Structure formats: C-alpha cells, structure tokens
Amino acid sequence: MSEILLINLSILILFLPLAGFGVVILFGKRFSKLYLFEQGIITLAFILSVIVAVVKLSSYVNQDILFAFTWIDFGNVPMLGELKIDLGIKLDNLTVIMLFVVNLISMLVHHYSVEYMKGDAKYNRYFAYLGIFTFSMLGIVLTDNILMMYIFWELVGLSSYLLIGFWFEKDSASDAGKKAFIVNRVGDIGMFIGILILFATYQTFSFDAIYEKISMGIIPFDSGAWLTAAGILLFMGAVGKSAQFPLHVWLPDAMEGPTPVSALIHAATMVAAGVYLVARIFVMLTADAMLVIAVVGAFTSFIAASIALTQNDIKKVLAYSTVSQLGYMIMSLGVGAYAFAFFHLVTHAFFKACLFLGSGSVIHAMHHEQDIQKMGGLRRKMPLTYLSFLISTLAISGIPLTSGFLSKDGILAGTLAFGSLTGHWLIPIFGFTVAMMTAFYMFRLVILTFHGEPTDKHKFDHAHESPRLMVYPLVLLAVLSIFIWYTPNPLAPNQGWFLSSWVKTPQTVVPQDLRFEFMQSTETGTGIVHSEMYEHAMHWAHYPAMILSVILAGLGILLAFMMYQWKKISPDKFAEKVKPLYNLSLNKWYIDEIYQSTFINGTLILSNFLAWFDNTIIDGIVNGSATVTRLFSRISGWFDNYVVDGFVNFTAFFSGFIGLSFRRIQTGKVQTYIVFVIFSVLILIILL
C-alpha cells in the first residue's frame, strides 16, 4: 500500500465522523433512525484505522508519512519574507496507535450507547455529538503542526462541553459543562501563548520544522528561559485537558454527562490528549520544563488518589482515579520515561474505558443509582460486568499479568531512576504511594459494588445483566487489558513489540546546557537519546520498582479487603482517627471552594465593579460633561438675556433718561429759552 493511499485513508477516517455529525445534526429531527448512519460511519472508520495501523506498523514502522498543504499564504511579508501557514497530517507510530485506540473506543461507545441511551429525547443528537467528538479527537491525533492541534484541541473542548451538558435540563450538568470549558480555556491560553512564542521565533507551526531549528541552536528570543517557558506554557494546555493540578477540578464534575461519554471522552481519549501533546513536544522540553512537568504530574496523581479514597459516587471515584493515572503519565514524561508514558496512555485507555462502561452497566441496572454505599452483591446479578470490571481493576492496580502492570511498572522504574540520577526522590515517593492508594480505593469500589450483601434490596431485585450490545465492549476491553497483546513476557515490557519496535523515546533537540545531565550526549550536535548513565539507572531500577509496586499494591488490596470485605477494621473508626485528613479528602482539598472564593468571586466582583465604574464614572463623565455643557448654556443664556440684552436695553433706557431730564428744560416757553440764551452768551462773554 502506498503512502499516498495511507494519507488519503487517514483523511477519510478524519472526515467520516464529521460527515456523520453534519448529516445527523441537520436531519436527525426528521429521521429517527438516522443514528444508524453514524453507527455505520464509525464502524467503517474503525475498520479503516485498523488497516492504516497495520500497514503503517508493518511496512513503514521506521518511517513517518507526511502530508501538508498551505492554509493561509501571506505572500511576501515585509521584514520576514515569504510567510505561510501550513496545515498537514503526520503519520508516525504514535499517530496510528492513537488512531486505532480512539476509533476502537469510539466505536465501542457508539455501540454501547445504542442501549444505554435508549429512550432519550435527544437520541440522534447524542450520536451526532459523539461524531464531532471523534472527528476532533482524530484531528489532534493526526496533525503535524501545533496550530492544527490547537484548532482540534478547542473543538474537542466544544464537543466535551456539549456532551457534559447533554442533559442540560439539570443545572448541575450545564454548570459542569461550562466549568469544563472555562477551566480548559485557562490552560489553552497558556498553550496559545506557547504557540505564539514558537511562531514568533520560527515562523512555522510544524513540529518537525520547529524541532529542526531548535536542534540547529535557534531558540526563542535567544534565551533558554524562553524555551523553558514555551515548554511549560504548551504543557499548560495539557494541564487543562488532562486535568492536572491545579486545573483538575473540571473532570470530576464532568461526570454529569452520560456514562458512555465519560468513558470515551473523560477517561480514555480526550483527557489523554494532554499526554499526547506533551509527548509531541517532548523533544523540545528543557530540564527545567521537564522538572515542572514531573512535579505537577506527581502531585496531581497524589492529590487525586487521596480524594478518590473517600468518594462514594462510583463515577467520581473513577474520575479521580483517571486524574491520578493521567498524573502518572505526565509525571512519566517529566522524568523522561517517554515510551512508558505513551504505553500507559494506551493501556489506561482500555482498562479505564472498561471500568467506566462497567460502571455505566451498573448504573443502568440500578436505575441511575450512583452511590456505591447503596449497592453491593451485584456480582451474582451481573457476572460478565463483574468479571471485566475486576480484570480492569487488577490492571489499574498494577497486578502482574495485566497490561497495567507493564506500563505502571515502567513508569515507577522511571521515577526511581530519575530520583537516583537527580536527587528528586519526592517524585518516586509520590509515585509509589499513589500505587498503593490506587489499589486500595479501586478494590474498595469493587467490594462495595459487587461483593457483600445488597444494601438496597428493592433496587437490587430489579437489577439484571445488561444487554449484549452493552456487555460485549466490556469483555473486549477487559481482554485488551491482559499482557499478551503487548509483550510475550509478562514481566518485561521492554521485550514486547510495543516498546521495542513501535514506540521509542525520541531524541531531544534542546541545546546541551539546557538538558538534564543524564540526557546530555557526549557527542556534540546529534547524540543519543539517553546517556548510558540513564540506561544503567533504568536497569537498576527495574526490579526494585517491580517488587515494591507489587508489594504496595498487594498491601492496598489487603487493606481494602480488611476494611470492606471482612470488616476487620472499621472504616468509620479509622476515619474518626484521622478526622482532618479524612475531611480534607472528602471535600476534595477544598480546591473548588478556594477557586470559588478567589478567582470566580474575584472576577465577578471585579466585573461588577467595572460595570459600576463604567456606568457611573466613565458614563458619568460623559453625562457630566453634557450636564456641564447644559449648565454653561444656561449660564450663557442668562448672561445673554440679562447682560448682553440688558446692555442693549440699558442704552435705550439711558438715552430715555437723559431725554427725560433734558425735557425739563424744554419748557416750550420762548422766554425760558431766551433766558438760557442770554445767560449762555453772558457766560461766554465772561469766559472770553
């Protein structure tokens, strides 16, 4: 199969879901069966993506396939020369794997939703939204440049907004949608400024072109700090989308959306886009940027896991575990364990989608009951759901023979190696603690939901295994959570095809002095990815990490069984002992409240103040100047009336007055006049 054909196929895959969206949104009202069109389209897209992935990974495994076109041509721009904005597609191994994962989960969720959403008033529209989501997500995956990634990044945000707020009649749902979009925007602003930095320096958005120039030693504004800033700012986009601290608050709320949506968007694919972004920009990250990323990831995974310990809503627990696992991936990229991060992204996508769809199955069976304290014993009623849920739980807890064990172990080894090389031991400590917490809260979830005795007898009696169309995705995803798909040796992920031939850590391109010491190469210019020092540390960390993580996970599971299955330890009493910590966890570290009282209220107060300011001061000045003008006009009117006109009248009056007074002399008597004449003559004579 030729490269052109691969490109054309992937463009087709990209636009198929968009066509589905367009057709269903425009005509969905008239034809109630139109969702079947969307189903067909997504199934076709999946089949095509399998073909593309297989061909790429077999025939072109070490070769990237590129396609670009000019979107905007500015011609010959003064001072810069030719300037164009190109968009394009890049097919590398990462892309095709993601293509497969996204289309697979999207297709499963489409099929699953047919049953899950049955009877909803906006049935067709739901599938249209799924279509536009799939389109946007595929866009992120396929792009070869950061601008196009931003475009689809925002579109994903839109589809997420639409789907979280799908049941917008509920205020909580519309609130959650809004919150998700706005919180994501915070991160996007950072990402956008990062993009601006890159474009201002390189006049291109293409990843490859940018990296080539960085490797030639051209860095933004001739300062390493700006390169670090660019990395961190781009990472901010991931902080938003992948729900990293401090922008993780939207993801738990996003569970207001339909559960299949949570599985597709808020667990498996969209939230992983942030990780994908960091993987894409991995090669341009400086040591400082990587450290920031590692710390953010580690802290996020810890904080989310600590909150998940006490939540009682089945979806909330899964949401926080998603945040925690995403933190793992981010942390893994930060410590340089690139391949394991991506590996975990893929494995996590499968088992977390399975968990969410499983929870959806449970919620469906329990008539939209989500509180795990009101469940229990469902194992008997829903065996297939239980089994797949259990396998996925084992995977997320990192128990051997599962896919999760392989990827998680790699990440933990990576942190351990990082700690040993740089002295940042806090990161592996966070990592291992979280591993134990994860095992604990996941098994708490399983036990409370499926084991023991039912707490709500009425609902339990009506519970039943879900229809086949809902169960088959669960089983398929559970099967994909087993090690065999990734490596023949369940203890050595490195020996598998996934890590040995498909996904390899790329060479970093940042200048030598901005890299971690262990990433510096002895040869100038080119150089190897990781120094021997690093390889050595990884090798050393492998077994300790594996053993430690299994022990910790086992401890976590044991604790969960002690508390909830065998009831040896009373969770309530334990909570009483660590009351402040328990409350902190239960209330999600009060982060929402802090944001509410600072940022949100602050903005609202500021905006109200400015509106007042605008209305009273600025407009007051305008109206005031109008009033002053009116006042002046009144004064000048008065002046005109009384002074100017008065003067005129005064002149007349004065002459009248003079006339009147002279009139006295004019007696009309000739004799008087003669007297005057004579006296005047006399006076004249005397004077002369």
Shortest reach from residue 270's CB to another protein, in Å: 16
CA atoms within 13 A on the CB side of 351: 31
Burial 542-558 (b: 16+ CB within 10 A, else e): beebbebbbebbeebbe
Task: For the segment 6-65, give every residue that binds another protein (CB under 8 A).
Answer: 25, 29
Between residue 590 and residue 609, which ones bind another protein under the rule CB under 8 A?
A: 603-604, 606-608
Name the one range near another protein by CB under 8 A: 35-43, 241-249, 345-353, 666-674: 666-674
Distances (CA, A) of 546 to 6, 170, 514, 632: 39, 46, 31, 87
- By CB under 8 A, name the one of 141, 155, 394, 559 that touches another protein: 155
Say whether residue 660 binds another protein (CB under 8 A).
Answer: no
In sequence order, which ranges of 165-205 are alpha helices (DSSP H)? 171-202
Phi, psi for residue 89 in degrees, rounded to 5: -125, 140
Q: How far is the CB of 517 from another protein (least distance, A)?
A: 32
* CB closer to another protein, 199 vs 497: 199
Q: How far apart (Å, rounded) are the C-alpha atoms in residues 156 and 241? A: 9
List beta partners, residue 65. Answer: 91
Of positions 33, 58, 62, 80, contacts another protein by CB under 8 A: 80
Select the span of 294-302, 468-476, 515-523, 670-678 touching another protein (CB under 8 A): 670-678
Q: Is 688 in the site for another protein (CB under 8 A)?
A: no
Per CB under 8 A, the list member of 669, 684, 685, 688 interacting with another protein is: 669
Q: CA 166, CA 576: separation in Å to the nearest integer?
A: 39
Cβ closer to another protein: 78 or 423?
A: 78
Torsion sign, CA atoms 307, 310, 312, 317: positive
83 near another protein, rule: CB under 8 A = yes
679 binds another protein (CB under 8 A): no
Asked whether 480 and 403 are in contact (CB, 8 A), the reply is yes
- Closer to another protein by CB, 205 or 440: give it: 205
* Residue number with CB closer to another protein (65 or 140): 140
- Alpha carbon distance 46, 101 (integer Å): 9
Q: Is 15 exposed, middle or buried (0-12, 13-18, 19+ CB in 10 A)?
A: middle
| Distance, CA of 232 to CA of 236 (rounded, Å) | 6
Q: Which is nearer to another protein, 129 or 418 (by Cβ)?
A: 129
Binding range to another protein, per CB under 8 A, among 145-153, 371-379, 539-547, 644-652: 145-153
Q: Which of residues 200-239 bind another protein (CB under 8 A)?
A: 200
How many angstroms separate the CA atoms of 403 and 389, rounded? Answer: 14
Q: Rank residues 80 and 652 by Cβ distance to another protein and give the closer one.
A: 80
Closest distance of CB 660 from another protein, Å: 12
**Nearest-approach distance from CB 527 to another protein, in angstroms:** 31
Burial of 138 (0-12, 13-18, 19+ CB in 10 A): buried
Nearest residue (CB) to another protein, 578 versus 604:
604
Which residue's structure tokens are 């080119």?
A: 526
Radius of gyration of the chain, Cα coordinates, nearest whole angstrom: 37
- Residue 236 or 285 having the CB closest to another protein: 236
- 129 counts as binding another protein under rule CB under 8 A: no
Contact characters 612-651, another protein, x per CB under 8 A: x-x---xx-xx---x-------------------------
**Dihedrals φ, ψ of 529, to 5°?**
-65, -60
Q: What x-and-dash track marks residues 548-577 binding another protein by CB under 8 A?
A: ------------------------------
Helices (DSSP H) in 451-531: which residue ranges? 457-462, 468-480, 497
Q: Give residues 160-179 in contact with another protein (rule: CB under 8 A).
A: 161, 165, 168-171, 174-175, 177-178
Which listed residue (54, 611, 631, 683) binds another protein by CB under 8 A?
611
Looking at 67-75, 271-279, 290-298, 644-652, which segment touches another protein (CB under 8 A)? Answer: 67-75
Q: Pick the stretch among 68-76, 301-309, 355-363, 425-433 that binds another protein (CB under 8 A).
A: 68-76
Closer of 75 and 423 to another protein (Cβ): 75
Instruction: Tell me, letter by letter, the H, E, C secondary structure of 198-253.
Output: HHHHHCCCEHHHHHHHHHCCCCHHHCHHHHHHHHHHHHHHHHHHCCCCCCCCHHHH
**For another protein, which stretch binds (CB under 8 A), given 110-118, 192-200, 278-286, 421-429?**
192-200
The Cα 507–Cα 634 span in angstroms is: 80
Q: Is the peptide bond before 246 cis (omega within 30 degrees of 0)?
A: yes
Taking the complex as a whole, the smallest distance from the CB of residue 133 to another protein amounts, in Å, to 14
- What six digits make up the tokens of 5? 């054909």
- Minimal distance, residue 657 CB to another protein, in Å: 17
β-strand partners of 87: 69
Stretch that binds another protein, among 157-165, 459-467, 545-553, 574-582 (CB under 8 A): 157-165
Query: How buried is 203 (Cβ within 10 angstroms: 0-12 exposed, 13-18 middle, 19+ buried)?
Result: middle
74 binds another protein (CB under 8 A): yes
Structure tokens at 637: 């009117």
**Interface with another protein, residue 683, by CB under 8 A:** no
Residue 564 CA: distances (Å) to CA of 299, 450, 553: 28, 11, 16
**By three-state DSSP, how is residue 609 classified?**
helix
Least distance from another protein to the Cβ atom of residue 635, Å: 19
Contact 428, 419 (CB under 8 A): yes
**Interface positions with another protein (CB under 8 A):** 25, 29, 71-80, 83, 147, 150-155, 158, 161, 165, 168-171, 174-175, 177-178, 181-182, 185-186, 188-189, 192-193, 196-197, 199-200, 603-604, 606-608, 610-612, 614, 618-619, 621-622, 626, 666-671, 674-675, 678
